[in-house]
């Protein structure tokens, strides 16, 4: 029989006192003076759990799946090969994710790259990297010599980038209007007279993968923020960080951090619903029917799961919860290919004018880690990523692999003679929330209108798009809100990188 959290909660609402008098005998009591139950072991749940444990809380983290990491997780194939759910990359400007990796001892497992290499369908390469010039001019020399754009494209791009930089990353012409809705990135680019090729080979390439959405559906504020924070305001914001190990290995330190304060991580521990009495959470009911209580509850589940864990009346009454349905999802498709020989020497490549957007040389990036002794699938493992992959949603796995192989033959000629030992496709239809104009209106703060209930997740209000950095920010903000409620205020959120050079001057003027 299907469990209904609403039915359970309304039963509680009818007879709270007697139920608790009866039930409390079997309910484990919190051991320390302050305890919290975190529901969800993605980056939002993990970062808040670790920060609260470090502040002295006893934290119980309940995760439904058999592994930690949520959307940024890895698992082991039957042959022993470790596979990430999808390649995840970070940027130098992701200061909170960097802080989280440091707290759990994983910072050395991220390798940063200073040179971004692009490949055109004819196989030609172009790269960008920073020079000694002060930001925002540091990328200008490599951009000037970038061979895959023409003069008119570069002039248009330079003018638009200058408009972003001169405004300190906040151009006045992006909105929002009186209804809180900003202009789309595409409309802003057209207004700034970008050539068709500049849009296709520059803006689209960077923004579709950074924001997992098409330009005509991206709020320009998000798009402009990517360029300001990553490419214009500082020298190291654009550096691409790629894990040297399977994603799951990065979270090993979390369990220890919780255990030090008497807390624990429980896997395969799904929660069915919150027990809410008189506007306050009094417990959580687990899928095995047991009830657990704590001083605080932190829901770090995806935005479409949260309303299912709350009584229907509460969702209906509180716009914070009912508005979540307005956040739309966008898809990402990951393609995993194992070849019988070495077909790629670069660590990663960005493809222009192709369905495939990124190719990661996993064999080289792992450097032998994550590959068991007996894993014999193939000589080289590549992972391809296609963001905002709406067009692939109805295509079969075979069709997608064939399409990607066709594109690889142009940019990686060695694939023409290589044999594909194995190929798999992972379609994540709800990979991220869509950063559409006006979407910020539906993103709730981390302190919920229900007493003792706090929220974390990349979809809560952080100012950042749906990313690992956004998830960690939400976790830190939720932990700050709990600590403040407990009378132990503490600052956890890390500041953005400080603008440098001319960018610093211009950001002060605005």
b (16+ CB within 10 A) / e for 374-404: ebebbebbbbbbbbbbeebeebeeeebbebb
Provide, rounded to whole angstroms, the least separation between the CB of residue 370 and ligand FAD: 17
Distance (Å, whole) CA 275 – CA 267: 21
| Cα atoms found within 13 Å of the Cα of residue 468, Cβ hemisphere only | 28
Q: 416, 409 in Cβ contact below 8 A?
A: yes
Question: Stretches 64-72, 105-113, 232-240, 349-357: which one binds ligand FAD (CB under 6 A)?
Answer: 64-72
Distance (Å, whole) CA 433 – CA 332: 11
For ligand FAD, which residue of 9, 36, 37, 70 counts as binding (CB under 6 A)? 70
Question: Stretches 156-164, 395-403, 463-471, 485-493: which one binds ligand FAD (CB under 6 A)?
Answer: 463-471
Neighbours of 184 (CB within 10 A): 22
Question: Stretches 319-327, 409-417, 460-468, 486-494: which one binds ligand FAD (CB under 6 A)?
Answer: 460-468
Question: Stretches 187-195, 318-326, 424-432, 447-455: which one binds ligand FAD (CB under 6 A)?
Answer: 424-432
For ligand FAD, which residue of 332, 337, 384, 412 counts as binding (CB under 6 A)? 332
If the CB atoms of residues 198 and 431 are measured against ligand FAD, the closer one turns out to be: 431
Question: Stretches 36-44, 99-107, 150-158, 413-421: which one binds ligand FAD (CB under 6 A)?
Answer: 36-44
Binding status of residue 324 toward ligand FAD by CB under 6 A: no
Binding status of residue 241 toward ligand FAD by CB under 6 A: no
Tell the residue number behind the tokens 């296709």, with chain if given.
200
Distance (Å, whole) CA 303 – CA 310: 12
User: Computed from CA positions of residues 239, 469, 465, 502, in that sequence, does the dihedral angle turn out positive or negative?
Assistant: negative
Neighbours of 247 (CB within 10 A): 27
Distance (Å, whole) CA 213 – CA 388: 5
- Alpha-carbon dihedral 193, 201, 146, 361, rounded to 10 degrees: 160
Q: For residue 74, list its beta bridge partners.
A: 84
Distance (Å, whole) CA 305 – CA 256: 28
Binding status of residue 64 toward ligand FAD by CB under 6 A: yes
Looking only at the bridges linking them, the beta strands covering 116-119 and 348-351 are parallel
If the CB atoms of residues 181 and 312 are measured against ligand FAD, the closer one turns out to be: 312
- Give, for 110, the enclosing helix (H) or strand (E): strand 110-113
DSSP helix/strand/coil, 427? strand
Q: 30, 294 in Cβ contact below 8 A?
A: yes
Provide, rounded to whole angstroms, the least separation between the CB of residue 49 and ligand FAD: 11
Provide, rounded to whole angstroms, the least separation between the CB of residue 284 and ligand FAD: 9
Residues 95-134 that bind ligand FAD (CB under 6 A): none
DSSP helix/strand/coil, 117? strand
The gap between the terminal CA atoms of the chain, to the nearest Å, is 59
Question: Stretches 298-306, 341-349, 359-367, 486-494: which one binds ligand FAD (CB under 6 A)?
Answer: 298-306
For ligand FAD, which residue of 49, 62, 291, 382 counts as binding (CB under 6 A)? 62
Provide, rounded to whole angstroms, the least separation between the CB of residue 432 and ligand FAD: 5
Binding status of residue 299 toward ligand FAD by CB under 6 A: no
If the CB atoms of residues 199 and 425 are measured against ligand FAD, the closer one turns out to be: 425
Binding to ligand FAD by CB under 6 A, coded x per residue (else -) over 78-97, reads --------x-xxx-------
Residues 243-272 that bind ligand FAD (CB under 6 A): 270-271
* Among 69, 30, 431, residue whose Cα is nearest residue 267: 69
Distance (Å, whole) CA 295 – CA 34: 6
Binding status of residue 207 toward ligand FAD by CB under 6 A: no
Residues 37-56 that bind ligand FAD (CB under 6 A): 39-45
Binding status of residue 72 toward ligand FAD by CB under 6 A: yes
Provide, rounded to whole angstroms, the least separation between the CB of residue 101 and ligand FAD: 12
> Binders of ligand FAD: how many residues, by CB under 6 A?
37
For ligand FAD, which residue of 157, 220, 468, 478 counts as binding (CB under 6 A)? 468
Q: 273, 284 in Cβ contact below 8 A?
A: yes
Phi–psi pair at 80, nearest 5 degrees: 100, -5
If the CB atoms of residues 69 and 136 are measured against ligand FAD, the closer one turns out to be: 69
Q: 224, 164 in Cβ contact below 8 A?
A: yes
If the CB atoms of residues 266 and 326 are measured against ligand FAD, the closer one turns out to be: 266
Binding to ligand FAD by CB under 6 A, coded x per residue (else -) over 2-31, reads ------------------------------
Binding status of residue 457 toward ligand FAD by CB under 6 A: yes
Interface with ligand FAD (CB under 6 A): 39-45, 62-65, 70-72, 86, 88-90, 270-271, 300-302, 305, 332, 334, 428, 431-432, 457-458, 466-471
């Amino acid at each position: 029989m299907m469990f209904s959290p609403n039915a359970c909660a309304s039963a509680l609402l009818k007879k709270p006192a007697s139920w608790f008098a009866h039930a409390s005998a079997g309910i484990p009591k919190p051991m320390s003076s302050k305890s919290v139950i975190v529901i969800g072991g993605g980056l939002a749940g993990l970062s808040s759990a670790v920060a609260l444990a470090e502040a002295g809380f006893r934290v119980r983290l309940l995760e439904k799946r058999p592994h930690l990491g949520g959307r940024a997780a890895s698992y082991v194939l039957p042959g022993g090969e470790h596979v990430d759910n999808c390649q995840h990359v970070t940027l130098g400007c992701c200061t909170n994710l960097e802080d989280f990796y440091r707290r759990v001892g994983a910072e050395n497992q991220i390798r940063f790259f200073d040179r971004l290499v692009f490949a055109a369908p004819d196989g030609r390469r172009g790269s960008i990297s920073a020079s000694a010039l002060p930001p925002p001019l540091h990328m200008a020399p490599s951009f000037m010599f970038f061979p895959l754009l023409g003069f008119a494209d570069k002039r248009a791009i330079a003018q638009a980038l200058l408009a972003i930089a001169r405004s300190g990353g906040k151009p006045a012409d992006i909105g929002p209007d009186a209804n809180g809705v900003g202009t789309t990135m595409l409309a802003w680019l057209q207004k700034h007279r970008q050539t068709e090729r500049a849009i296709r080979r520059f803006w689209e390439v960077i923004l579709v993968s950074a924001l997992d959405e098409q330009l005509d559906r991206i709020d320009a504020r998000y798009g402009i923020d990517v360029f300001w924070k990553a490419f214009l305001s500082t020298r190291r914001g654009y550096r691409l960080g790629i894990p040297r190990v399977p994603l799951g290995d990065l979270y090993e330190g979390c369990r220890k951090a919780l255990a030090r304060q008497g807390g624990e991580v429980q896997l395969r521990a799904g929660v069915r619903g919150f027990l809410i009495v008189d506007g306050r959470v009094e417990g959580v009911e687990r899928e095995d029917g047991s009830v657990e209580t704590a001083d605080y509850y932190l829901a770090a589940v995806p935005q479409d799961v949260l309303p299912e864990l709350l009584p229907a009346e509460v969702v209906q009454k509180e716009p914070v919860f009912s508005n979540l349905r307005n956040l739309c999802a966008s898809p990402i498709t990951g393609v995993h290919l194992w070849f019988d020989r070495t077909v790629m020497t670069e660590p990663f490549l960005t493809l222009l004018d192709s369905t495939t957007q990124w190719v990661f040389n996993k064999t080289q990036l792992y450097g032998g880690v994550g590959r068991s002794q007996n894993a014999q699938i193939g000589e080289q493992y590549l992972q391809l990523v296609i963001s905002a992959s709406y067009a692939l949603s109805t295509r079969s796995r075979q069709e997608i692999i064939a399409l990607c192989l066709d594109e690889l033959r142009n940019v990686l000629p060695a694939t023409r003679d290589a044999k594909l030992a194995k190929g798999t496709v992972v379609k994540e239809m709800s990979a991220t929330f869509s950063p559409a104009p006006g979407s910020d209106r539906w993103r709730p703060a981390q302190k919920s209108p229900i007493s003792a209930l706090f929220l974390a997740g990349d979809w809560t209000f952080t100012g950042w798009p749906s990313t690992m950095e956004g998830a960690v920010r939400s976790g830190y903000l939720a932990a700050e809100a709990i600590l403040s409620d407990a009378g132990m205020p503490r600052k956890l959120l890390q500041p953005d990188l400080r603008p440098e050079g001319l960018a610093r001057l211009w950001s002060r003027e605005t």
